[in-house]
Amino acid sequence: ATDKSDVPDSKSLEVLMTKFGHRQFRPYQWQIISSILKHKRDNCAIMTTGYGKSLCYQFPAVFSGGVTLVISPLISLMEDQVLSLTIANIPACLLGTAQKNTAQTIADILKNKFSLVYLTPEFCTGEFGISLLKDMNSSLQITLIAVDEAHCVSSWGHDFRHSYRQLGMLKTLLPEVPVLAVTATATERVKNDIIKSLKLLNPQLVGTGFDRPNLYYAARPKGSSLFDDLKPLMTRKNGKWGFDGSTIIYCITRKDTANLSEVLQNHQVSCLPYHAGLSLAVRKETHEQFVKDKIPVIIATIAFGMGIDKPDIRNVIHYGSSGSIESYYQEVGRAGRDGLPSKCVAFFSSQDFATHGFLIEKGQNSNRRAELLSTMKQYLNSRKCRRAFLVSYFEGKADLSMPERSDCCDNCLAKTAPSDQSIYEGVDERDFYDFTEDAVKYLSAISALGGKYGHGMYIMFVRGSKSSKIPDRLRSHPSFGTGKNKSDDWWKAIANFLDLKHYLKQAKSKTASSFSFSVFDVSDEGLKFLNTPPDSRKLLEQPTLG
């Protein structure tokens, strides 16, 4: 049973101070640690980023003089932890990578020289790993088995790893050793999967909740100029543009990070790109410069961020949609770990979803990943409280007992003060707007062009562009130039809106033989709308907040 009045004893606090340099346990840390040390209890802990998961599994071994096994999916993260533990005089090692002196390491493990042994999931479920675990169990006291990033066991999560599937055998192999499963992102369904897959016995369930009250959330469609999009988030000091405080800008592709860096650098914004294609030395240097406040802005793919321990990141901007709410939440989770107000702003376009769609089609588990992407799309286009959206997504409850606030997201803010940066000129975003006419114009433009192009071409067509890309014979088409009076951005928003309504589908381009991720045609549903007699055709919606 959990003892809520349980308070840390002086010996534990002393070890915490001398070995880890902290004065106090955070409440959930102690709840987990004491259940492991006193009751050998299994735990499933969902803790927001920055709460301090690693202490929960590092402390018990250090305190008891035994050894803890830690399984994590990322070698680089484990290497970081082994390094920082070694520096702090806590002996730790890593097994499962292609290192040379494995035999020596194993001999030392069996002499109880290490408090923490990090293992890749492949290593500890392999034949060699299993026999080592058996040897360890008969000659040492294994205090705990910790499974970090435990959401990886579930195919309902965003980062399913096959190698994690086998980890349930650890409980069979070492039934008396408590298991701690930890993650920052798990829905109810993923949590249940973790408990089942890892065979946890009557686990203590710990959750810090998913609300991050100091984060402000916003989302808006990308406009035609990247710099103009970002400008409202920047300030100008001594003639130079910049963000207030450390900032990460996430892009979907490496190419995007290069483009964005160039645009910002051209405006004298001090920034550096970061992605897995850069050399390790360059990545390390960039990481370090960011953490030491020498460079304020990093423009990165999601390769950047794992293991970043920087408490004062003020902005996490996505220039391009994430593939799932889970990854979005994990990425924005890097903002404001010090508890001070920080912003999480996402810019998106229908092209982003197409790019993800393309990646999903090529990868595994595609149905599930398409579902996750579609929820991300809903988040971005939502007109309701974004904070409530995120929290209820993870907690699996539509009805939240969170106090309402007006400053937690763009949507709540707009209820009290209408946005002044709207792309929808003259349209009050709180009202319903009749999109019928523009939807018909746009869908007709797609039909006129045979559904073989991307939105760029359709927008040129509907706006009556003089570009030579539009064949002369089509200039006399009745749909050509019907949308002259509205901006490029307006039509991009319409395209996105029609996509969300499932009025568009992916199609084959003029030249390609297979479906392309950026070519759109009118879907069956779109055709149904287009073919409905004008009198009974109506598209009345609240526009997306811009």
Q: Which residues bind ligand ADP (CB under 6 A)?
A: 22, 24-26, 29, 47, 49-55, 309
Sign of CA dihedral 152, 22, 303, 410: positive
The pair of structure tokens assigned to 101 is: 């002196």
Q: CB nearer to ligand ADP: give 50 or 121.
A: 50
How many angstroms separate the CA atoms of 204 and 193, rounded? 15
Alpha-carbon dihedral 263, 267, 269, 275, rounded to 10 degrees:
10
Residue nearest to ligand ADP (CB): 52
The pairing of beta strand 342-348 with beta strand 271-274: unpaired
CB of 189 to ligand ADP, least distance (A): 22
CB atoms within 10 A of CB 424: 18
Q: CB nearer to ligand ADP: give 146 or 380.
A: 146
The pair of structure tokens assigned to 287 is: 């990481």
Which of 463, 461, 458 lies closest to 483, judged by CA?
463
Backbone torsion region of residue 283, taken as left when φ is above 0, otherwise alpha when ψ lies between -120 and 50, otherwise beta: alpha
Is residue 75 a contact partner of residue 237, using CB atoms and an 8 Å limit? no
CB of 54 to ligand ADP, least distance (A): 4
Q: CB nearer to ligand ADP: give 26 or 254.
A: 26
Q: CB nearer to ligand ADP: give 204 or 355.
A: 204
Which of 371, 388, 389 lies closest to 379, judged by CA?
389
CB of 81 to ligand ADP, least distance (A): 9
Please state, in angstroms and as integers, the Cα–Cα distance from residue 89 to each residue in 17, 113, 114, 186, 322, following that order.
13, 12, 11, 33, 39
CB of 28 to ligand ADP, least distance (A): 10
Q: CB nearer to ligand ADP: give 27 or 213.
A: 27
CB of 158 to ligand ADP, least distance (A): 17
CB of 231 to ligand ADP, least distance (A): 32
The pairing of beta strand 240-242 with beta strand 116-119: unpaired
The pairing of beta strand 433-434 with beta strand 235-237: unpaired
CB of 58 to ligand ADP, least distance (A): 8
Q: CB nearer to ligand ADP: give 51 or 63.
A: 51
